Amino acid sequence: MENVYDLIIVGGGIVGMATAYKINTRNPEKKILVLEKESEVAAHQTGHNSGVIHSGIYYKPNSYKAKLCVEGRRELVAFAKEHNVPHDICGKIIVATKPSELEYMNKVFNNGIANGVEGIEKISAEKIKEIEPYCVGIEGIWVPCTGIISFAAVTRKYRELFEARFSQSKVLTNCAAKAFEHHDCYTTVVTSKGSFNGKYLITAGGLQADRLTMGAGVKTDARIVGFRGDYYDLTEQGKSKVKNLIYPVPNPEFPFLGVHFTRMIDGTVECGPNAVFVFKREGYNKTDFSLGDTIEALKFKGTWQLFYKHWRFGLDEYQRAFSKKKFLTGLQQLIPSLTMEDLQPGRAGVRAMAISPEGETLDDFKIEAQGNMLHVLNAPSPAATASLGIGNAIADMAAERFSFN
């Protein structure tokens, strides 16, 4: 039998590549194949995110997100230092701008303490001004272990090490998985470049995660719904108003962190994102449309339940998507002196949200296991930060279920 591998991983984003790297490191004799449908790894969520190394402060204590973000962050920073991946542990502030936000700000702080996030402290309005002179708030949280990095560069480094250290393993790009055929002792993955046989299978498809999971014959009630986030860049004059990272206190009723300011590793400063439903899962422009993606999303009752629960937020987000003035008003909550001249159009990303039929977003990372397969169904932020932690967790599952080391 040709093209036989001990393990096939479908998806060359940061989670798929971290998983391949971690499992092969533990099992150097195993022959592993990573399949990526785009021409390069990290083409979608990984390459379109804000590049923030998250601390772990937001997440429910004892959740996968909390545990793997904190562990993964520490390992990621050590990895970046060892392999000379440019990064900067610059710290960030989370800023409350009105009294009604203080209760949830305190909950976030307490989560950080429970999750073992090092160095966090509550800060006064005066201290906010010391750290970010143009930012206005009544209280805040200083998070010194937050940083910035290019997660696409991290993923390329995972790939480089994976292919250099394990000569029998490889990454195939421009290779889309089309179908899965299950046999007694292996699974055949039918792709755009032929068929490949794997004793074990892992999928980590991000925006395509539910399709891959169900395509492999695993039942799941959850579906992936995409939300585009549009960013503005600060102009040269606008950049002087932001030193590092400024975040609002997140709204606990809305499953996103709110518009924020991020100094990127290349020195640019982004502000955003909003969060609007996309009519194409991998559509990064406001007018991108896929009839198939749209019909699939709107046939799922969970999409309508989500819209019904959050329609006020959704309407506001859509207005911001098409109104620079409305976007600016949101940003001015944190930096009142910001003007229209400080903003110029930036890029966009699409975030995969796993939604239940009841319209609830899946709060935590979710990995489905069945037979000789593992499927990463839900890995939203902070998955990039947590990638090595997730890779370790999946390697542990592989050790248990696949008899790997």
For residue 288, is pLDDT > 90? yes
* 314 contacts: CB under 8 Å, gap ≥ 6: 276, 277, 307
* 38 contacts: CB under 8 Å, gap ≥ 6: 12, 44, 173, 174
307-327 burial code (b ≥16 CB/10 A, e <16): eebbeeebeebeebbeeeeeb
Nearest to 42 by CA among 208, 159, 210, 163: 159
228-240 residue pLDDT tens: 999 999 999 999 9
Could you give all domains of the chain from N- to C-terminal order, each with its CATH number?
A: 4-46+152-222+363-401 (3.50.50.60), 224-359 (3.30.9)
102-119 residue pLDDT tens: 999 999 999 999 999 999
Neighbours of 282 (CB within 10 A): 19
Nearest to 365 by CA among 348, 349, 373, 353: 353
Contact 171, 39 (CB under 8 A): no
pLDDT mean over 120-139 = 98
Contact 129, 123 (CB under 8 A): no
pLDDT at 322: 79
More confident residue, 337 or 363: 337
Confidence band, pLDDT 50/70/90 cuts, at residue 251 = confident
pLDDT at 146: 98
**397/405 Cα distance (integer angstroms):** 10
pLDDT at 311: 73
160-170 residue pLDDT tens: 999 999 999 99
pLDDT at 403: 83
Exposure of 81 by Cβ count < 10 A (0-12 exposed, 13-18 middle, 19+ buried)?
Answer: exposed
CA gyration radius, the chain? 21
For residue 12, is pLDDT > 70? yes
Bridge-based pairing of strands 194-203 and 87-88 is: unpaired
Confidence band, pLDDT 50/70/90 cuts, at residue 314 = confident
Angle between helices 14-26 and 151-165 (to 10 degrees): 30
Least confident of 54-68, 104-118, 301-315, 362-376: 301-315
pLDDT at 99: 97
For residue 227, is pLDDT > 80? yes
More confident residue, 404 or 244: 244
For residue 319, is pLDDT > 80? no
pLDDT at 1: 61
Confidence band, pLDDT 50/70/90 cuts, at residue 257 = confident
pLDDT mean over 183-193 = 96
- Give the DSSP H or E segment for 229: strand 223-234
**386/178 Cα distance (integer angstroms):** 29
pLDDT mean over 59-66 = 96
Contact 255, 242 (CB under 8 A): no
Mean pLDDT of the chain: 95
Contact 142, 135 (CB under 8 A): no
If you ran DSSP here, which 8-state letter would residue 178 be given?
A: E
Helices and strands counted in the chain (H then E): 12, 20
pLDDT at 310: 84
